[in-house]
Copies of this chain bind each other. A is one copy, B any other.
Amino acid sequence: VSHRRPLLCVPLPELPDVQSGDDLAGMLTSVAPADLSGGDVLVVAHKIVSKSEGRLRRMAEIEPGKRALALAAEHGKDARLVQAVLDESAELLRTRQGVLICVTRQGFVCANAGIDRSNTAAADELVLLPEDPDASARRIRGGIELALGVRPAVVISDSFGRAWRVGQTDVAIGAAGLTPLDSWQGRPDAYGRELRVTEIAVADAIAAAADLARTKDSREPAVLVRGLERYVTEADGPGAATLRRAREQDLFR
């Protein structure tokens, strides 16, 4: 249809359950296609990254404090979960309608500080966000390069809600080897004039595209994305931290 290479998103085969301490890069390598290339992007659901890094808490071991107990009573939530959310948050932005919108310690704005209860082997286990998802992405990229000699870009994704849109979309919470933001500022458009849209959040769009290629009830936590060589960089680069809006640029905090 076009002269350009199409965008292609293919889930990698299912992985076995990931445990704390597992070599995630090795596990991904074992299911990656033989023709994995340095121009590919590998999108990995944060949950298996968190698990491999031991970013887990058991509800039974959490002692809720005063604030957690009050918030839990007010919002009809489990006080131990609320305590875990507070422990992962730098700030609570909104606590209405039974939803806790947080600024996480990593600087992300999302519900429940990104803590997840689903898809975990133990019913009372909480999955936290990775401590430093850009560092996680760099480690995975490095591990893949060690094993296979190629350096695909790595994106770590999570599903975030949006302020003014219904439903979640996947965004990039970590990235390595990818231009996270494609800035068009100063570049002319097809008519040589100024563009209204000046910065495309490429890493977030990649995370959203990858999520379309799988279903949530599958165990396909990694998706291979092809056709984006123009955004893949040799250096690990600034990562997805670039996409966190700074507090002083935030009109809605």
Q: Which residues of A contact B (CB under 8 A)?
A: 1-2, 4, 6-13, 33, 94, 96-97, 99, 101, 108-109, 111-112, 115-121, 123, 159, 162-171, 181-182, 184, 187-191, 193-202, 204-206, 208-209, 211-214, 216-220, 224, 227-228, 242-245, 249-253
Contact = CB atoms under 8 A, between A and B. Distances in A.
Closest 6 CB pairs of A and B: A167-B201, A209-B209, A109-B164, A7-B9, A163-B163, A205-B208
The secondary-structure label for the interface of chain A is loop
B109 A187 contact: no
Stoichiometry, copies per complex: 2
22 contacts: A6-B9, A7-B7, A7-B9, A8-B8, A94-B252, A111-B196, A112-B196, A117-B196, A119-B189, A162-B162, A162-B201, A163-B163, A163-B252, A164-B252, A165-B171, A166-B199, A166-B201, A166-B245, A167-B243, A189-B217, A190-B217, A209-B212
Contacts of A13: 1-2
A39 to B, nearest CB: 14
A11 B189 CA distance: 17
Contacts of A12: 1-2
B213 A7 contact: yes
Contacts of A253: 164
Of the listed residues A191, A204, A206, A212, the one surrounded by the most CB atoms of chain B closer than 10 A to its CB is: A212
A211 B216 contact: no
A1 B228 CA distance: 18
A108 to B, nearest CB: 8
A193 B220 CA distance: 17
